[in-house]
Every structure is written in C-alpha cells, then in structure tokens.
C-alpha cells in the first residue's frame, strides 16, 4: 500500500502577481499622483487568475482605479487593463506602459 502525502507546495494554488519591473512602472506613476495630491493609498491583491493594484483617494473608500494583470488574456485583448471606479475598462493592452498612459493624462490635467 502506497500513501501519498501532499507537499506544502503541491496543495497551494498558483497565484498571479506583479513582477518587480511591472511594480516599478506602476509605483512610479503612483508616486507622481501622490505628489500631485490625487492619490493617497493603494492595495495589491494576488489572486488565482489575476493580480490587482488598487488605487484609493482615501483609505476607507472604493478604489478609484484598478490596474489588473490577467495572463490568460495575453493572446486575446492583452493581459493589462485599467478599470475605473464604475467597473468600466478604460484601457486594455499587452504593454503596461501603454495601458497606464490613460492615467498619466489625468496626471497632466491635475498638474495644470
């Protein structure tokens, strides 16, 4: 009789997360928006099918924007998207910097 004991690694589900280079791009934009007084807090979630970077104006409210990474959509619409407070997808694509330009335009308007 053979008994199979699961290892701690086999029972843990895979999670999608942001890579360091992706976080550098996102946090660079976040820092500029904080300096402009537009954003004040953020949260990062690593789920089984996507990673989410949520941006808040205040800590105790719903996120203003969500920057999502969904690897399963890589070959379709692109794995990165920016989602507004109302759930509307503002921009979607395969290049993170290009997708984040929709938020950089808001930074330019806030500075002016």
Domains in the chain: boundaries:
15-111
Structure confidence at residue 9 (pLDDT): 56
**Model's pTM, two decimal places?**
0.79
Question: Residue 22: exposed, middle, or buried by beta-carbon count in 10 A (0-12, 13-18, 19+)?
Answer: middle
Q: What is the pLDDT of residues 6-27, one digit of tens each?
A: 555 555 568 888 889 999 999 9
Q: What is the pLDDT of residues 26-83, one digit of tens each?
A: 999 999 888 888 888 899 988 888 899 999 987 667 888 999 998 887 888 888 999 9
Taking the C-alpha atoms of residue 33 and residue 64, their distance in angstroms, rounded to an integer, is 12
The pLDDT of 90-105, averaged and rounded, is 88
Taking the C-alpha atoms of residue 75 and residue 109, their distance in angstroms, rounded to an integer, is 33
């Amino acid at each position: 009789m053979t008994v199979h004991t699961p290892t701690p690694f086999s029972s843990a589900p895979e999670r999608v997360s942001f890579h360091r280079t992706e976080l550098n791009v996102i946090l660079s934009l976040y820092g500029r928006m904080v300096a402009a007084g537009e954003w004040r807090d953020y949260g990062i979630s690593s789920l089984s099918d996507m990673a989410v970077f949520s941006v808040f104006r205040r800590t105790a409210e719903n996120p203003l924007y969500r920057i999502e990474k969904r690897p399963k959509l890589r070959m379709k619409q692109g794995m990165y998207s920016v989602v507004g407070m109302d759930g509307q997808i503002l921009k979607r694509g395969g290049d993170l910097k290009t997708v984040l330009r929709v938020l950089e335009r808001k930074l330019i308007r806030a500075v002016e």
